């Protein structure tokens, strides 16, 4: 598996398939490049190049004790873009990866990317503050972090059904849910805690307001991980060139449960 060096010397892994117009896929919190398996084959079959990194502490990348702040993770993305000399690429990101994507564009410019597609992104600001009353209370984060530290497997088990909104779309098999939860558990426990803390407390409102790229937001009404009301419905009001597609029966795992619809939406967006 190919690797590259980040700014602090951390060795980071990635996968690179195809030879067409590039798509850079950024995984969600605690997940790795394998989460995109239903997108990978779809876009390869249509002639695109797919680049899929594993963030630090996740997948096959190194597990350093530092660098889990969103700025460093955005810089990790920038180093990969430079390492592969990616240009005119589409940036596709899920959850915490969406926060990394918009911070990458804010810190390193928007001249190399041509469009941005965000699935249930952790933007613009999830934490409730006096100037962000729609956010979630900080106490929810502290309770979540406490359970992650004391019983991480149970934390994921408790949320599996809601992650896929199986009460609304019951077709997701137990095997698929178990596989995705095992991918989540493969991340470094330390990285899992630190990245979740960052995704909840990082303010991306200036990043979103500064976007000049065409931006597609895809989000489910039943998302229990990052509720649409505090994220995509706020982001679409801030991003100058954003459109929001809502899925009434989708949870946070819409890249699996709604893969056909999501893939078609992204492909149509890329062809506009």
pLDDT tens string, the chain, 272 residues long: the values are: 899 999 999 999 999 999 999 999 999 999 999 999 999 999 999 999 999 999 999 999 999 999 999 999 999 999 999 999 999 999 999 999 999 999 999 999 999 999 999 999 999 999 999 999 999 999 999 999 999 999 999 999 999 999 999 999 888 899 999 999 999 999 999 999 999 999 999 999 999 999 999 999 999 999 999 999 999 999 999 999 999 999 999 999 999 999 999 999 999 999 98
Is residue 95 within 8 A of residue 226, CB to CB? The reply is yes
Got the DSSP string for 65-118? SS--SHHHHHHHHHHHHHHHT--SEEEEEETHHHHHHHHHHHHH-SSSEEEEEE
Is residue 4 within 8 A of residue 155, CB to CB? The reply is no
Distance CA 191, CA 56 (A): 8
pLDDT at 171: 85
- Which of 58, 204, 219, 252 does the annotation list as catalytic? 252
Q: Which residues contact 118 (CB under 8 A, 6 or more apart)?
A: 92, 93, 94, 98, 101, 102, 215, 216, 217, 218, 232, 235
- Which of 54, 76, 207, 223 does the annotation list as catalytic? 223
**Catalytic (active site) residue 95:** yes
Is residue 79 within 8 A of residue 9, CB to CB? The reply is no
**Catalytic (active site) residue 61:** no
- Which of 6, 30, 33, 95 does the annotation list as catalytic? 95
Distance CA 32, CA 58 (A): 6
**Catalytic (active site) residue 219:** no
Is residue 218 within 8 A of residue 247, CB to CB? The reply is yes
pLDDT at 25: 99
Looking at CATH, the fold of the domain delimited by 3-271 is given as Rossmann fold (3.40.50)
């Amino acid at each position: 598996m190919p690797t590259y060096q980040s700014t602090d010397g951390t060795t980071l892994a990635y996968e690179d398939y195809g030879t067409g117009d590039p798509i850079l896929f950024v995984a969600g919190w605690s997940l790795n490049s394998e989460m995109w398996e239903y997108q990978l084959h779809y876009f390869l079959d249509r002639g695109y190049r797919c680049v899929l990194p594993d963030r630090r502490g996740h997948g096959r990348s190194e597990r350093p004790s530092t660098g889990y702040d969103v700025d460093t993770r955005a810089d990790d993305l920038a180093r990969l873009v430079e390492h592969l000399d990616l240009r005119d690429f589409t940036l596709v990101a899920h959850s915490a990866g969406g926060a990394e994507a918009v911070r990458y564009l804010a810190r390193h410019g928007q001249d190399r990317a041509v469009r941005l597609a965000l699935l249930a992104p952790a933007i613009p600001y999830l934490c409730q503050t006096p100037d962000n009353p729609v956010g979630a209370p900080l106490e929810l984060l502290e309770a979540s972090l406490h359970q992650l530290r004391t019983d991480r497997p149970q934390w994921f088990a408790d949320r599996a059904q809601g992650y896929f909104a199986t009460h609304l779309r019951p077709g997701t098999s137990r095997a698929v849910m178990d596989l995705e939860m095992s991918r989540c558990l493969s991340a470094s426990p330390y990285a899992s805690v630190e990245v979740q803390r960052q995704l909840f407390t990082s303010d991306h409102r200036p990043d979103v307001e500064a976007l000049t790229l065409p931006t597609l937001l895809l989000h489910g009404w039943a998302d229990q991980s990052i509720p649409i009301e505090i994220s995509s419905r706020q982001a679409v009001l801030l991003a100058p060139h954003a459109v929001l597609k809502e899925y009434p029966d989708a949870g946070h795992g819409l890249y699996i449960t709604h893969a056909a619809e999501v893939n078609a939406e992204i492909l149509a967006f890329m062809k506009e």
